[in-house]
Amino acid sequence: MTTESIPAEPAVAPHDPGPDDHSYAYDLVVVGSGPGGQKAAIAAAKLGKRVCVVERKHMVGGVCVNTGTIPSKTLREAVLYLTGMHQRDVYGASYRVKADITVQDLLARTQHVIGREVEVVRAQLLRNHVDLVVGSGRFVDPHTIAVSGDGGNPDTTVTAAHVVIATGTRPARPDSVEFGPRVVDSDGVIDLERVPGSMVVAGAGVIGIEYASMFAALGTRVTVVDKRPSLLEFCDPEVVDSLKFHLRDLAVSFRLGEEVRSVEANGAGTVTTLASGKRIPAETVMYSAGRQGQTDSLDLEKAGLNADSRGRIAVGTNYRTEVPHIYAVGDVIGFPALAATSMDQGRIAAYDAFGEPVRDLTALQPIGIYTIPEISYCGRGEAELTADAVPYEVGVARYRELARGQIVGDPYGMLKLLVHTETRELLGVHVFGTAATDLVHIGQAIMGCGGTVDYLVDTVLNYPTLSEAYKVAALDATNKLRAVARFGA
């Protein structure tokens, strides 16, 4: 095991710690160095606490940096660049930066970014004097973590007054699926030997649909199967329709409302059998039907804790578990299971542990889906507002009518604002197309401050930008509101 300035401390009997209990080697031990664990560790270090992070070899930065967010988003960027997809509206349908894109072309960029991100995480921990213990942690008692050093590293034990569990999730692997070189989960998809000619994506959650759109852009014939009858049902239906239109245009087929019963593979290919009896042949299957909390090897019972059937840990206020000095943050506690929320959960848990005042996270949280094209929204949707009988008006801007939309070659993008017809408050923003995941934050900030559509009407925005979509959509909404006032009794 590699320890960076770790004194091996004997385990001590558990007792209720004060905030600065020096009978333990550390004030805080964090298990897992993903976004939740990192921010918990650094927040505590900034409060002057003695902090240690336990993480497995080759996983510094967590699932986020090594197998999840960062590889998938870098792969997407490589796909967009090499296929020339975003330039085709300008240069024509046959435009390509590279004709035969190989996995090596794609991986070069991914490995580079992962390497840099791991270095950033290591450097941040180091300069905040957070010790990194390399190995797998498990509870010995509520204040003691035994670390089994992997890759030839020795075992050790760390004790701490407080513990943050930030062990994340791994892909779920049912027995009915034969995993191997042709049947991969989202961890394995970044290690495929070549870009497949055909692929079944089993499970069209966010992971499945993001990878489906990347492979479709690379020219793979993709079939998406999901037992839910509709895709991304939490998103605006108009936006989802646009996405489906784009994906169909890239030869993606959808089998929605269909359950995957089993997946078999041999040297020649794979066959996915659905509950309806259909059998779908493909070179490769990506199985992305859910994830499982990484708690099975933590010996939670020795800390007085347990996990549910999906490996998730229940938490209360400020991410405290039922054992008051132990916190759990990030994907291991379930929804929303996002990198950004995990970071804030980690910070809040550390502040709570050491008596620093904390505020709850605001309810207004953005969702960003990195399909091709991308989707993002914040606030409320039309169906929800209608169900709650909230009167609203819609303002829409199409990228093709924005100068910047023409310049970047995005003719399909759109931004939709939902505005309260009486108070004129902004209730929701839904964006589809280039830079959607960045643009959404303008609407988020206005909504967060209780702003109205009039703020956008009265504000000058840079030109030519995609942000101008807000102005155009705001004018559209206010024109409609004015028409109601003019024509109404």
Ligand X SMILES: NC(=O)c1ccc[n+]([C@@H]2O[C@H](COP(=O)([O-])OP(=O)(O)OC[C@H]3O[C@@H](n4cnc5c(N)ncnc54)[C@H](O)[C@@H]3O)[C@@H](O)[C@H]2O)c1
User: CB under 8 Å to 126, separation ≥6 — which residues?
Assistant: 4, 132
CA–CA separation, 53 vs 79, rounded Å? 34
User: How many residues are recorded in the chain?
Assistant: 489
Q: At 130, list the tokens.
A: 């957070």
Asked whether position 55 contacts ligand FAD by CB under 6 A, the answer is yes
Among 240, 298, 419, 466, binds ligand FAD (CB under 6 A): 298
Tokens read off for 340: 């950004």
Question: Alpha-carbon distance 383 to 386, whole Å?
Answer: 5
- Does 136 sit near ligand FAD (CB under 6 A)? yes
What is the Cα–Cα distance from 393 to 42, expressed in whole angstroms?
44
Interface stretch with ligand FAD, choices 66-74, 81-89, 268-276, 313-321 (CB under 6 A): 66-74
Binding mask 175-214 for ligand FAD (x = CB under 6 A): -----------x--------------------x-------
242 forms part of the interface with ligand FAD (CB under 6 A): no
Residue 413 binds to ligand FAD (criterion: CB under 6 A):
no
Q: Angle, to 10 degrees, between the axis of helix 35-46 and the axis of helix 103-127?
A: 20
Region of 43 (left: φ > 0; alpha: ψ -120 to 50; beta: rest) is alpha
226 binds, among ligand FAD, ligand X, none (CB under 5 to 8 A by kind): ligand X
**Of 372, 436, 75, 414, residue with least CA distance to 209:** 372
Could you give the 3-state DSSP secondary structure of residue 113?
helix
Residue whose tokens read 């030109």 = 463
Residues 385-404 that bind ligand FAD (CB under 6 A): none
Binding partner of residue 340 among ligand X, ligand FAD, none, CB cut-off 5 to 8 Å per kind: ligand FAD
Of 1, 25, 29, 31, which one interacts with ligand FAD (CB under 6 A)?
Answer: 31
3-state secondary structure of 403: helix
User: Does 168 help bind ligand FAD (rule: CB under 6 A)?
Assistant: yes
- Of 3, 21, 37, 74, the one binding ligand FAD (CB under 6 A) is 37
Per the listing, tokens 């793979």 go with: 220
Q: Give 348 or 419: the residue with its C-beta nearer to ligand FAD.
A: 348
Q: Answer yes or no whether residue 149 interacts with ligand FAD by CB under 6 A.
A: no
Nearer to ligand X, 149 or 443 (CB): 443
Interface with ligand FAD (CB under 6 A): 31-37, 54-56, 59, 62-64, 68-69, 72-73, 136-137, 166-169, 186, 207, 294, 297-298, 330-332, 337-340, 342, 370
